[in-house]
């Protein structure tokens, strides 16, 4: 396996002081705030539950409302008034919606007092790859006992397994509105909240497990779907139908030995396992390396108070692929219009495998930082955004993103397993020399269009102005769809035969996808792909036009345009 250091063609483009997020609009241009602080600087102090100095920066509104068990004073820091993180209005949980519109009450039991929490672990436990455990192992006994105990708790206990799944539901299917903006729903997917929210969610879920089995060395497993050894449903989750780790609502066609397809969508044909493994590794390389060069690429776009998530275009590369597809591959499609448990957000966390899936997503975050030399966001609106969870004592606690950035402070690390995709880059298809691109119409003649069949357009490349080497970005503009529906389409560049194009071909740029949500109906998103390196690979650096092909894989969406632009 290649060492990580020779797999980072772009590490020099990172700068910890300059946030690459600055290209993103802020709703209120008068409150521009540049955070030059590193993660631990520039924060007023307040006492935390742990008694230590909590690096919590408070929003003025919090001080006025005074929620929580702490009394806060001396917070007259100017920047505080400028910070506008998107926050959930936790006091006002409303009925969420299933994608078919049926109301579902995911609201947690009523709470009166919320305490701030800052972790300060003194020991480290290791989250291990799930495939290494069988149902005979001691680990399985502990883990399944913990989950069974969670399932046995009273439904009025917020640590109850279904209540925990409901925490996820409330945070993503319209259970909360935005604090201070009651007309806007709050959402923890499709933006820079995605990685940290799920990290905190797992943290407390793990704590609850530890507490129920009285073993604070217990750590959740991770589903290592990015390596061949982990590309099936791990045995623990599938061996015994009476196991609390088993879920009947998984796709019966995808039980072992079926190999996961990290670009899966309903209707895809099965390919031989070794091919699928090869494709998966290339997909990981594309998503983690070719397409995740900036913080916005990786984490998703900023989400601040007043932002409307339905127009934000916010999901990061990993959240879309493989995250979404692992969900839809695992969830059942008994009724394809109403996939359940893993396939839909409101019920996803009812399948115990959800937590192993997200432990791997969380591990991927650590890989992006450590092996690929990415950096965490330093924007104060990200650092100070908070969430509320239930701890192992069933008490509500408020936690901030800035306090989850170091997993060792949270008391865990990941087993060091091989990362075979680090050198699995996609390769161009062999092509006849001198073959020219087929002709296709100009985007202006085609868009807007309902994507109900394959569409080819020839897109002009803009002329570079000035010095430097800006990155060329292909933008699919104004993707309009109903958030309750499953959406996927694939995007290819300079490919004249998409049926013969595989995910390990450079010509396959990736996909756009949406997992069904119970949110309000209409979404308008953009999707961007980095193409400088891709065109170089394809030997098309000097072309003045490229062929772009969109292939629908789900019910149709409307697309309003395609263009290429430069990002510095």
User: Could you say which of 161, 198, 254, 298 is catalytic?
Assistant: 198
Least distance between ligand C2O and beta carbon 193 (Å)? 10
Q: Are the beta carbons of 380 and 339 closer than 8 angstroms?
A: no
Strands 558-567 and 471-482, by their bridges, are antiparallel
* Active-site residue flag, 189: yes
Distances (CA, A) of 34 to 27, 104, 297: 15, 40, 19
Q: Which residues does residue 479 pair with via DSSP β-bridges, in sequence order?
A: 525, 559
Please say if 198 is a catalytic residue: yes
Pick the closer one to ligand C2O by CB: 167 or 449: 167
Annotated catalytic residue 327: yes
Cα(471)–Cα(490) distance, integer angstroms: 22
- To the question of whether residue 327 is assigned a binding role by annotation, the answer is yes
Q: Whose Cβ is closer to ligand C2O: residue 159's or residue 327's?
A: 327
Least separation in angstroms between residue 463's CB and ligand C2O is 41
Q: How far is the CB of 323 from ligand C2O (least distance, A)?
A: 6
User: Given the complex with ligand C2O, which of 348 and 538 has the nearer CB atom?
Assistant: 348
Report which secondary-structure segment, H or E, holds 558.
strand 558-567
**Angle at CA of residue 21, ends 39 and 551, nearest 5°:** 130
Which one is catalytic: 161, 201, 204, 327? Answer: 327
- Specify the residue, 313 or 320, whose C-beta has the smaller distance to ligand C2O: 320
Q: How far is the CB of 327 from ligand C2O (least distance, A)?
A: 6
Choosing from 133, 189, 201, 357, which is the catalytic residue?
189
Tell me: is residue 517 an annotated ligand-binding position.
no
Residue 560 vs residues 308, 443, 447: alpha-carbon distances, Å: 19, 9, 5
**In a 10 Å sphere around its CB, with 0-12 CB exposed, 13-18 middle and 19+ buried, how is residue 164 labelled?**
buried
Catalytic hit among 254, 357, 358, 519: 358
Residue 361 C-beta: closest distance to ligand C2O, Å:
7
- In the complex with ligand C2O, the residue whose CB is nearer, 7 or 318, is 318
CB of 223 to ligand C2O, least distance (A): 11
Residue 527: name the closest of 476, 473, 482 by CA.
Answer: 476
List 90, 168, 389, 447, catalytic entry: 168
Asked whether residue 567 is marked as a ligand-binding residue, the answer is no
Instruction: Give the integer Cα–Cα distance in Å for 243 and 143.
Output: 11
When the beta carbons of 284 and 348 are compared against ligand C2O, the nearer one is: 348
**354 versus 447: smaller Cβ distance to ligand C2O:** 354
Question: Quick check: is 517 catalytic?
Answer: no
Interface residues with ligand C2O (CB under 6 A) are 168, 172, 189, 198, 323, 327, 345, 348, 358
- Could you give the CA distance from residue 42 to residue 88 in angstroms, rounded to a whole number? 24
Asked if 567 contacts 471 with a C-beta cutoff of 8 angstroms, the reply is yes
Q: 161, 345, 447, 529: which one is catalytic?
A: 345
Structure tokens at 268: 């895809």
Strands (E), 106-186: 115-116, 125-127, 177-178, 181-185
Distance CA 198, CA 323 (A): 12
Contacts (Cβ under 8 Å, ≥6 apart) of 489? 451, 511, 512, 550, 551, 552, 553, 554, 557
Smallest gap from Cβ 348 to ligand C2O, in A, equals 6
323 is catalytic: yes
Write down the catalytic residue from 201, 254, 323, 325: 323
Detail the residues annotated as belonging to a binding site.
Answer: 168, 189, 198, 323, 327, 358
Active-site annotation, residues: 168, 189, 198, 323, 327, 345, 358
Detail the residues annotated as belonging to a binding site for Cu cation.
Answer: 168, 189, 198, 323, 327, 358
């Amino acid at each position: 396996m290649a060492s990580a250091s020779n797999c980072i063609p772009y590490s020099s483009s990172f700068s910890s002081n300059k946030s690459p997020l600055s290209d993103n609009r802020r709703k209120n241009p008068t409150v521009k705030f540049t955070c030059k602080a590193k993660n631990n600087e520039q924060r007023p102090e307040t006492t935390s539950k742990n008694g230590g100095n909590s690096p919590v920066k408070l929003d003025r509104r919090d001080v006025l409302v005074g929620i929580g068990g702490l009394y806060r004073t001396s917070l007259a820091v100017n920047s505080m008034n400028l910070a506008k993180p998107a926050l959930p209005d936790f006091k006002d949980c409303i009925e969420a919606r299933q994608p078919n519109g049926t109301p579902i009450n995911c609201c947690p039991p009523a709470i009166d007092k919320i305490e701030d929490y800052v972790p300060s672990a003194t020991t480290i436990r290791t989250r291990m790859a799930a495939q290494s455990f069988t149902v005979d192992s001691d680990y399985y006994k502990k883990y399944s006992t913990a989950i069974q105990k969670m399932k046995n708790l009273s439904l009025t206990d917020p640590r109850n397994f279904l209540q925990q799944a409901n925490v996820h539901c409330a945070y993503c299917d319209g259970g909360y509105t935005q604090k201070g903006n009651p007309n806007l729903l709050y959402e923890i997917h499709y933006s820079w909240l995605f990685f940290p929210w799920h990290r905190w969610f797992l943290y407390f879920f793990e704590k609850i497990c530890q507490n129920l089995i009285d073993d604070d060395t217990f750590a959740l497993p991770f589903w290592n779907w990015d390596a061949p050894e982990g590309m099936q449903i791990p045995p623990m989750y599938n061996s015994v139908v009476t196991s609390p780790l088993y879920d009947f609502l998984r796709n019966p066609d995808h039980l072992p030995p079926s190999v996961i397809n990290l670009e899966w969508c309903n209707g895809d044909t099965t390919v031989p396992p070794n091919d699928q493994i090869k494709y998966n590794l290339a997909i990981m390389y594309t998503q983690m390396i070719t397409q995740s060069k900036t913080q916005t690429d990786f984490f998703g776009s900023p989400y601040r108070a007043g932002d409307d998530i339905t127009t934000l275009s916010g999901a990061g590369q990993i959240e879309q692929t493989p995250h979404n597809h692992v969900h839809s591959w695992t969830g059942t499609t008994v009724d394809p219009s109403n996939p359940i448990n893993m396939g839909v957000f409101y019920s996803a966390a009812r399948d115990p495998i959800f937590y192993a899936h997200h432990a791997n997503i969380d591990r991927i975050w650590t890989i992006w930082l450590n092996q690929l030399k990415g950096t965490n966001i330093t924007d104060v609106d990200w650092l100070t955004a908070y969430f509320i969870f239930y701890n192992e004592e069933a008490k509500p606690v408020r936690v901030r993103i800035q306090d989850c950035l170091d997993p060792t402070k949270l008391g865990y690390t990941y087993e060091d397993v091989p990362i075979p995709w680090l050198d699995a880059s996609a390769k161009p298809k062999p092509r006849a020399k001198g073959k020219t691109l087929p002709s296709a119409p100009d985007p202006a003649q085609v868009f807007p269009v309902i994507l109900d069949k394959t569409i080819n357009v020839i897109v002009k490349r803009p002329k570079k102005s000035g010095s430097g080497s800006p990155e060329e970005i292909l933008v699919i503009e104004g993707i309009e769809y109903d958030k309750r529906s499953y959406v996927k389409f694939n995007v290819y560049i300079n490919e004249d035969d998409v049926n013969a194009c595989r995910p390990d071909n450079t010509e396959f740029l990736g996909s756009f996808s949406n997992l069904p949500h119970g949110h309000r109906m209409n979404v308008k998103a953009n999707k961007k792909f980095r193409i400088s390196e891709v065109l170089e690979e394809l030997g098309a650096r000097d072309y003045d036009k490229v062929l772009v092909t969109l292939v629908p894989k789900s019910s149709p969406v409307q697309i309003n345009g395609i263009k290429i632009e430069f990002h510095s």
